[in-house]
Structure 1
Amino acid sequence: MRQDQRAEKFRQIVENKFQIYNSLFMSLPYDKMTNIGMLLPFLYEESKEGYQAGKTPEEIVEEFFANHTDLQTEEQKLELLFKIIQYIERQVVLFDSIEDAAFPNMHSESDSGTVTNLFERSQQDHKLEKVREKLRDFTVKVVFTAHPTQFYPSSVQRILHDLRKSITDDSITNIDMLLQQLGKTPFVNKEKPTPIDEALSIIHYLRYVYYDTIGELFTKIKETFGNRHFHLHEDLIQLGFWPGGDRDGNPFVTADVTKRVSEELRTAILKSYYGNLKDVRRRLSFRGVSEVLGQLSAELYTAIFRNERITAEDILKRLNEAEKILVEQHNSLFLDQLENFKDRVKIFGTHFATLDVRQDSRIHQQVIDDVYKAKFGESEATNDDKFNQLIQVSEKIDADGFEDIVKDTLINVAQVKDIQFANGNRGMNRYIISNSDAVKDVMNVYAFFKITGYKDEEINMDIVPLFETMEGLDNAESVMTELYQNPIYQKHLERRGNQQTIMLGFSDGTKDGGYLKANWEIYKAKEVLTKLSEENGIKVVFFDGRGGPPARGGGKTHDFYASQGKTIANNKIELTIQGQTITSIFGNKEQAKYNFEQLLTAGVENDVFKNSKKDLTEKERALILELANISYKKYSDLKAHPMFVPYLQEMSTLEYYGKTNIGSRPSKRGGGNELKFEDLRAIPFVGSWSQLKQNVPGFFGFGFAMQQLKEEGRFDEVRELYRGSDFFKTLVLNSMMSMNKSYFPLTYYIKDNPKFGEFWNVLFTEYNLSKDIMLELTGFKMLQEEDPLSRKSVKIREKIVLPLLSIQQYALMKIQKGEGNKAAYEKLVTRSLFGNINASRNSA
């Protein structure tokens, strides 16, 4: 389907449907929400015209009250604003549902990046055998995190799911009922969710979206590429899981929580098997087969409800028995159903998704220090001495002799073998270390296993350093060089099949180094680590900590992976999926299948189909490096500006993220009251810029760097780079996506602020510069010209939330001036966060 055809289809089945259902929505009799649907267009017009005329949000909202209502008191006005927020939140859900329902009609089986397209292309280019060869050991792993960028409570998510189905069926009666339910269902969690709540929320998706999606996709790939000589390996598509295992900065994740979540994952997959088996038994009702499957059903039931151990091997043994009888006595009737079920058991085991453990290296050092002191007393030992001596300790150290985080860390490491016994080794097999920047950070974790009683050969865990800051990325080569040469670690890697996973963090990298510099440093780090690993006989796997918007490593993920050349190891594509990205990109079967396919084919294409635009020439590398350094200097100057943190603290919603009750984790590291840049978590940091409609981390410094080369008469070099390098082109297009979702007129009023006016102008100048030069570079007349669907979606969403942004800024202005009911205005700011973030879902 051509882009213009897609755009027309989008107009018909998304824009038009939204107009129709929105008019239905406007006339619904919600509690205390009468007439909101009539008033909202007036607030939108006041906002749109007011900002273009340079009015402040306060002037716009006050004029709306004066021109379109007869409200007099502050209390009445606040009540109306809260009702408008509630209304807009629900409009966003309606639009989400309509857009999701349209997804299958907007995409076809033979689109670029699909399995069908890959097969057709490989046939045309006579590369079918090469594709099969790549599929032999290639893997895509999507790791679900609990990072709080999803504001829908589970009750609303269920309505969203049902609404999507009713819109697909064009059932006006059901839509009407569901919209009424939506109007009466709270959008706000009264209390923060616990890590268990977060885990259960995502396990719901595992059971009702990914079990079938991955099972069906595996069958499709097997049927498309399989033959008598080629059998697809069951680890082709894997799931990973962080809620309940990720304790970095989250004091509520304890060893008990980790154990409980592992049990929930095991129970969830067994329930999925139990339900699937019912369908299989409906067809396989033959003598002998029926009895064996009945026995398996009883065993699964016992394992689920009496917590008796069952392994994937036990389940497969029964299925193999049934298959033998089916083939020998019943003409292999419905054999495909049995084989599909067997494939799922091989894919998901008794773990469903691999539960990772993650903690900050500084916490680990604290644990090592305390244990070392208890064992050897006070000493002048270096950090390296400490882990080396503790690794040699022969007797198990009693966790009960310690308190708090030390005790919990040791208990958690000790219980890994119990989780592996119950869920299989795939249930938990790696420990990730945030803020890794030294060898000790990896070896400390190895020491944990030794002091909690593991023999070397019993440590069935990969130890994964996470390099995320500029310093960490700079140190990555020396850290891994030393690790690969460490005799103890060498033997550990041998036992792990000489495979090393290395995680690279985009969010904190961008926060630390700016958009272009972070992406280039990560690219270079991957190249260096690829070469180093190959020299040491190690198969390296890169795990990308990617987020929703481009500033957190998001954007067009397929393009990102497809743009990586042969200098970067491509053994596996592994990335985090978080928050609203789970629901917006992998939230239903059609979208999940499409996006899993896109990741898979990006990895396969990279190796099989040669494309000179993927590989950087020396000249291109030198130019990207030059641009990255100029942009880094510009971004570093911005970070060092005395108003940088105060601006976020006083003029944005940064301080309000912690009050939203959307995640179990605190919104900043460190316990002090003073806000330091390094304590800022990447999500509230990027989110606050997004709420201001300034999206600074997605572009700042990029345009300035290109402008500098233009002034030197070298813009043709940049043009050549854009045309010749897929990697650079992807960065430019993702940055333009960030800018397309910016709207500086919202904060024009800050330019006259005595404290922040000069700082705001720095941001605005760079935005205009970046926008102009990127349009010149690409030859586009508008941002996101190459992606009309995303552009149209963004435009509608921005229109829906413009009144919400006016309300948020109005409340912030009132708080800054110290006027009126401060508590009510703060609540207004917090509530307005929800709709704005949810409306930005297509940033991923």
Structure 2
Amino acid sequence: MGVLWNPESWQQRLAELQDDSGELKETPLRRDVRSLGMLLGEVLREQAGDELYEQVEVLRQGTIRRREAEDQGAEAAAAEHAANAMAMVRKLPVDRALLLTRAFGFYFELINLAETNHRKRRRLALQVSSGTGRQRGSLAGTLCAMARVGITADEALEWLRKILVVPVFTAHPTEVARRSVMFKRRRIGELLELLDRIPVAESELARLEEQVLAEITSLWQTDEVRSRRPTVYDEIKMGLDYYDVSIFATLPSLYREISEALNSAYGIKLELHELPKVLAFGSWIGGDRDGNPFVTPDVTRNAIQLAREHLLGFYDDQLQKVIDLLSSSAQQTPVSEALRARLEEYETRIRTAVSEAYGQNFEFELYRRFLICIRMRARRTMQDAGIDTVRLPRPSTLIESQPMLEQVLPGYASAHELAADLELLRDSLATNRGLRIARNLIDPLLLLVKTFGLHLHTLDIRQHAKQHAQALKEAIKDTMAHTLPKPPSPETASIFETFRVIGEVKDGVTPEAIRHYVISGATCVDDVLAVIRLGRLAGVRFEGGEDDPGLMPVPLFESIEDLRNAPEVCRELWKRPDYRALLETWGNTQEIMLGYSDSNKDGGMLTSTWEIFRAHRELHQVAREEGVHLRLFHGRGGTVGRGGGPTHRAIFAQPLDSFEGQLRITEQGEVLNFKYADVVLAERNLELMIAASLDALARPNLRDPEGHFSGALKPEWEEALDTLSTLAYEFYREHILEDSGLLTYFAQSTPMTELEHAKIGSRPSKRKGSFNLDTLRAIPWVFGWTQSRLLVPAWYGVGYAVEQYLAEDSLRERRLATLRTMARECPLFIDLIRNVEMALGKVDMGTARLYSTLVEDTALRQRIYDDFEREFDRSVEAVLAVTGQKALLENNAVLARSIRLRNPYVDPMHLIQVDLLRRKRKGEDTPEVNRAISATISGIAAGLRNTG
């Protein structure tokens, strides 16, 4: 095989990178896809034999011909091709079905890597062409838009100082891939990036191609499906991986981009350390115990310890790198008196311990001596926290008595102390002809310390309100009893032990590591007060102070009813004198969480979107009236049916005058890998969130006399959304929530029950109790419909609502004109309709019909499938009518082409999955069958780039 990535001309390769409009820019993606496909074919023949390769080709060609026949309207031919493919699949033994599934699944693993590499390539192309200022969602573009409408430099800086975006990593079980597989993905992605360099010698290209081939071979020989369910500790480690993979390296370049964008738009020149802090990070992994019995108090304690160990180990490594590089001598350039004085303080302590041995190695290199002291204090901080520093590398440049220094110098009591030492060092360099050195060596580290402190991220604790109510009931019963109290139930004992862990952490060196207690299923004031009462019984201090932000209960409103009641619940809570006293210690700030997944399951896509918007707006109105600063926590999932979709669009679609600049947002499951698997991707994702927050706060469109898309919600738009929501909700309740056969259809026509065998996450897929829509979690609900290609949560009810809204002939033209205007100018409706369109574009009714054959009751099967088909057709018609398009995704050619090209390769895995499900339900319930089904789940998820 020749060198697949060897170009005919390096000038042509450069032209591909520079092209920003034509087909030429897609050429590198096609080359990567074609080359990776050829390499996979070589691996398949080598590892599994020619027969498997031939079967892959037969299935692939058959499904391609079926799709082509459907596109041409040749239904008979399409049915014949589908039947032939299904007949072939039914003859397969289970082990062969597994191999075929793996082959198609691995193809998508590689195609996804190629598409990810292309995203990075196009971002680089924009940077090379200075096009980032024109890119939607870029910081440069947002700031330039602000300057263009007359927002002054001072105003822009004031807006920026209000921004604080907090991505919160969660272990919601939607990431199918094992950690080992993710490491191999990253390795292949790195090799693809190296193959993109210009120019590269042919011999080097051949070597890189051979490495890609080796990685694909290794991937084939790796179990892609877990043999056991991941533990919470596995999930903690996976979450921490992203800091090493991208986040630590991303932040300095991201803040430099902010600095450059300010300079470009306003001529403001700020150093990294002068920029406001606009990012922090949070996690639920190890703290989210809602429905997860494996998140114990010990797990929470260890999650915090592991995060601190991870961060302080990183600081240790970075400090040593700076020590190695910062060789400035006091004989060549002065050192500030303030730094000399601080160094003298440290050296006085050190001399007592080691008889002035310290300092002889670096007699004039005062910066190095000072940095060694900082590093020893940081190590002592680790030791005080119970972290073993023995296994950390001992730099050869330091004196042998270094371990003694760690014992003599005190640890850092706070991140402010560490930052103060680094700022002292920076100031000395900057005032003594070392500004460039300070920018390069000290500023990035100082930025990371200000961002991550000594704790890395805040760990949220989450538990369901019902659990708190039961625990409080037991506690009160015990205090009223005339006899010795009985031992508490295990659940109640765990709640009290969790609060004791919270108290222990907050009494330690990093009280900011836990500052939020999320209450799932919150419905009333008592749900918030229960947390405070239980915590106080366990000795937890909720009040904030100078060194401790306190512990804030965060009610999570999830159902449609609870979203509607949320504003008045909060008003009642904020009017209580005892709670107001708490609020004052938190700077009169309250965080409220809005649940996207469960509200969607409860009310459908349209109603969930509208009710969250209304709750958001009304909560801010109540907060203003009560003198409370409101911060919202958006519990968004990865898929459209769970609140997913483009980040910038969603943030900008917030209600006007209902955003103060701070937000927290969950990053769940496969979304973490999609957004944070690489430095370039992480930087773009974080930039999108910051730019969208700035855009939503400053609203430059409101000041532009010719501007549209301002975010203002006109009365006729609100009336339209109210009516559409009411119509959709009634239809959804009748056909989903109240249809007695729906849950049977769902369970039998999807692989929902097999999610357990896929061993995706540590948390069970349903809450305790009988199987119903209330106990079924939102993730398996969305997961099942996604695997069967119906994606019901993302669109159901939209078609009916629009049809009924336009039904009256006398109002049709006016109402349709209103919807079309909203689809151009109303950010909320734009976000909604585009997300629905994207989901409808991924729906495949032919495949869904195949899954429906798994339903045993013929009448039930036909009734519900026919209903879905009618509503799908209505929803497509509605989207086309509103957008004025002739076909779905007409204005999103990239996604439309991706879906079209992927479908024939996903089809074989659907055929195999349906056949295996049928076999299992007829009694062939074996480990081999379950493993093969799990492989189809993984492969289909890779093919659709969504799990649930």
Q: State TM-score, norm by structure 2.
A: 0.82
**Mean alpha-carbon deviation: is it higher for 739-748 or for 259-268?**
739-748
**Do the aligned residues in 1 keep the contact of 2:62 with 2:82 (CA within 8 Å)?**
no
Q: Residue 123 of structure 1 corresponds to which residue in structure 2?
A: 147
Task: Report the Cα distance in structure 2 between the residues aligned to 1:228 and 1:824, rounded to whole angstroms.
Answer: 63
Amino acid at match of 1:740: G
Q: Residue 391 of structure 1 corresponds to which residue in structure 2?
A: none
Q: Residue 844 of structure 2 corresponds to which residue in structure 1?
A: 743
Q: Residue 359 of structure 2 corresponds to which residue in structure 1?
A: none
**Mean alpha-carbon deviation: is it higher for 136-145 or for 335-344?**
335-344
Q: Determine if the alignment matches structure 1 residue 527 to structure 2 residue 631.
A: no
Q: Shift of residue 815 of structure 1?
A: 4.0
Q: Deviations over 1:142-172 (max 9, x none)?
A: 1110001111111111111110010111221
Q: Determine if the alignment matches structure 1 residue 299 to structure 2 residue 382.
A: no
Q: Determine if the alignment matches structure 1 residue 770 to structure 2 residue 875.
A: yes
Q: Residue 427 of structure 1 corresponds to which residue in structure 2?
A: 513
Q: 2:937 aligns with which of 825, 833, 838?
A: 833
**Do the aligned residues in 2 keep the contact of 1:249 with 1:665 (CA within 8 Å)?**
yes
Q: Shift of residue 57 of structure 1?
A: 10
Q: Determine if the alignment matches structure 1 residue 288 to structure 2 residue 366.
A: yes
Structure 1 residues 427-826: aligned runs within 5 Å? 427-455=513-541, 457=543, 460-608=550-698, 609-611=700-702, 613=709, 614-639=711-736, 640-670=738-768, 672=769, 674-713=770-809, 714=812, 715-749=816-850, 750=852, 753-816=858-921, 818=922, 824-826=928-930
Q: Deviations over 1:706-736 (max 9, x none)?
A: 1112221323332233233121121001001
Q: 2:242 aligns with which of 205, 217, 221?
A: 205
Q: Deviations over 1:297-333 (max 9, x none)?
A: 2333444467365431332243234335434556445
Task: Report the Cα distance in structure 2 between the residues aligned to 1:623 and 1:489, rounded to whole angstroms.
Answer: 38
Q: Which runs of 5+ in 1 are unaligned?
A: 67-73, 380-396
Q: Shift of residue 474 of structure 1?
A: 1.8
Q: Deviations over 1:96-147 (max 9, x none)?
A: 2111222222232412211222233333333233221111121111111000
Q: 2:57 aligns with which of 38, 41, 45?
A: 41
Task: Report the Cα distance in structure 2 between the residues aligned to 1:634 and 1:716, rounded to whole angstroms.
Answer: 24
Q: Determine if the alignment matches structure 1 residue 314 to structure 2 residue 417.
A: yes
Amino acid at match of 1:610: N
Structure 1 pair 44–422 and aligned structure 2 pair: CA distance change class (3 A): farther
Q: Residue 392 of structure 2 corresponds to which residue in structure 1?
A: none
Q: Shift of residue 423 of structure 1?
A: 5.6
Q: Shift of residue 762 of structure 1?
A: 0.2
Q: What secondary structure sits across from 2:93 in the alignment?
A: helix
Q: Residue 389 of structure 1 corresponds to which residue in structure 2?
A: none
Structure 1 pair 65–795 and aligned structure 2 pair: CA distance change class (3 A): closer
Structure 1 residues 307-346: aligned runs within 5 Å? 307=386, 310=412, 311-327=414-430, 331-332=434-435, 334-336=437-439, 337-346=441-450
Q: Determine if the alignment matches structure 1 residue 136 to structure 2 residue 161.
A: yes
Q: Residue 169 of structure 1 corresponds to which residue in structure 2?
A: 194
Q: Residue 356 of structure 1 corresponds to which residue in structure 2?
A: 460
**Do the aligned residues in 2 keep the contact of 1:693 with 1:742 (CA within 8 Å)?**
yes
Task: Report the Cα distance in structure 1 between the residues aligned to 2:469 and 2:695, rounded to whole angstroms.
Answer: 42
Q: Shift of residue 824 of structure 1?
A: 4.6
Q: Shift of residue 771 of structure 1?
A: 0.7
Task: Report the Cα distance in structure 2 between the residues aligned to 1:292 and 1:255, rounded to whole angstroms.
Answer: 39
Task: Report the Cα distance in structure 1 between the residues aligned to 2:925 and 2:495, rounded to whole angstroms.
Answer: 45
Q: Residue 109 of structure 2 corresponds to which residue in structure 1?
A: 93
Structure 1 pair 377–569 and aligned structure 2 pair: CA distance change class (3 A): farther
**Do the aligned residues in 1 keep the contact of 2:503 with 2:541 (CA within 8 Å)?**
no
Task: Report the Cα distance in structure 2 between the residues aligned to 1:332 and 1:776, rounded to whole angstroms.
Answer: 60
Amino acid at match of 1:778: T
Structure 1 pair 668–190 and aligned structure 2 pair: CA distance change class (3 A): same
Q: Deviations over 1:225-279 (max 9, x none)?
A: 3757997565411111011000011000011000000001111111221222233
Task: Report the Cα distance in structure 1 between the residues aligned to 2:680 and 2:903, rounded to whole angstroms.
Answer: 25
**Do the aligned residues in 1 keep the contact of 2:542 with 2:552 (CA within 8 Å)?**
no
Q: Shift of residue 691 of structure 1?
A: 0.5
Q: Which runs of 5+ in 2 are unaligned?
A: 1-15, 71-75, 196-207, 329-364, 388-410, 703-707
Q: Determine if the alignment matches structure 1 residue 145 to structure 2 residue 170.
A: yes
Task: Report the Cα distance in structure 1 between the residues aligned to 2:819 and 2:19, rounded to whole angstroms.
Answer: 29
**Mean alpha-carbon deviation: is it higher for 502-511 or for 6-15?**
6-15
**Do the aligned residues in 2 keep the contact of 1:27 with 1:37 (CA within 8 Å)?**
no
Task: Report the Cα distance in structure 2 between the residues aligned to 1:233 and 1:440, rounded to whole angstroms.
Answer: 41
Task: Report the Cα distance in structure 2 between the residues aligned to 1:328 and 1:757, rounded to whole angstroms.
Answer: 79
**Do the aligned residues in 2 keep the contact of 1:790 with 1:842 (CA within 8 Å)?**
no
Q: Shift of residue 789 of structure 1?
A: 2.4
Q: Shift of residue 477 of structure 1?
A: 1.6
**Mean alpha-carbon deviation: is it higher for 335-344 or for 284-293?**
335-344
Q: Shift of residue 806 of structure 1?
A: 1.2
Q: Residue 346 of structure 2 corresponds to which residue in structure 1?
A: none
Q: What secondary structure sits across from 1:143 in the alignment?
A: strand
Amino acid at match of 1:806: L
Q: Shift of residue 4 of structure 1?
A: 9.8
Structure 1 pair 47–269 and aligned structure 2 pair: CA distance change class (3 A): same
Q: What secondary structure sits across from 1:237 in the alignment?
A: coil
Structure 1 pair 705–378 and aligned structure 2 pair: CA distance change class (3 A): farther
Q: What secondary structure sits across from 1:43 in the alignment?
A: helix
Structure 1 residues 23-38: aligned runs within 5 Å? 23-28=38-43, 29=45, 31-32=47-48, 34-38=50-54
**Do the aligned residues in 1 keep the contact of 2:137 with 2:688 (CA within 8 Å)?**
yes
**Do the aligned residues in 1 keep the contact of 2:909 with 2:940 (CA within 8 Å)?**
yes
Task: Report the Cα distance in structure 2 between the residues aligned to 1:615 and 1:568, rounded to whole angstroms.
Answer: 11
Amino acid at match of 1:808: Q
Q: Determine if the alignment matches structure 1 residue 114 to structure 2 residue 114.
A: no
**Do the aligned residues in 2 keep the contact of 1:581 with 1:841 (CA within 8 Å)?**
no
Structure 1 pair 403–642 and aligned structure 2 pair: CA distance change class (3 A): closer
Task: Report the Cα distance in structure 2 between the residues aligned to 1:56 and 1:810, rounded to whole angstroms.
Answer: 18
Q: What secondary structure sits across from 1:463 in the alignment?
A: strand
Q: What secondary structure sits across from 2:474 in the alignment?
A: helix
Structure 1 pair 4–811 and aligned structure 2 pair: CA distance change class (3 A): farther
**Do the aligned residues in 2 keep the contact of 1:560 with 1:730 (CA within 8 Å)?**
yes
Task: Report the Cα distance in structure 2 between the residues aligned to 1:766 and 1:99, rounded to whole angstroms.
Answer: 32
**Do the aligned residues in 2 keep the contact of 1:234 with 1:343 (CA within 8 Å)?**
no
**Do the aligned residues in 2 keep the contact of 1:739 with 1:771 (CA within 8 Å)?**
yes
Structure 1 pair 742–210 and aligned structure 2 pair: CA distance change class (3 A): same
Q: What secondary structure sits across from 2:530 in the alignment?
A: helix
Task: Report the Cα distance in structure 1 between the residues aligned to 2:159 and 2:881, rounded to whole angstroms.
Answer: 39
**Mean alpha-carbon deviation: is it higher for 729-738 or for 712-721?**
712-721
Task: Report the Cα distance in structure 2 between the residues aligned to 1:350 and 1:423, rounded to whole angstroms.
Answer: 8
Task: Report the Cα distance in structure 1 between the residues aligned to 2:146 and 2:822, rounded to whole angstroms.
Answer: 28
**Mean alpha-carbon deviation: is it higher for 822-831 or for 591-600?**
822-831
Q: Residue 237 of structure 1 corresponds to which residue in structure 2?
A: 279
**Do the aligned residues in 2 keep the contact of 1:473 with 1:525 (CA within 8 Å)?**
yes
**Do the aligned residues in 2 keep the contact of 1:46 with 1:64 (CA within 8 Å)?**
no
**Mean alpha-carbon deviation: is it higher for 156-165 or for 721-730?**
721-730
RMSD: 2.7
**Do the aligned residues in 2 keep the contact of 1:812 with 1:829 (CA within 8 Å)?**
yes
**Do the aligned residues in 1 keep the contact of 2:617 with 2:655 (CA within 8 Å)?**
no
Q: What secondary structure sits across from 1:18 in the alignment?
A: helix
Task: Report the Cα distance in structure 1 between the residues aligned to 2:83 and 2:927, rounded to whole angstroms.
Answer: 21
**Do the aligned residues in 1 keep the contact of 2:524 with 2:569 (CA within 8 Å)?**
yes
The percentage of counterpart residues that share the same residue type is: 24
Which protein is bigger by CA-based radius of gyration? 2
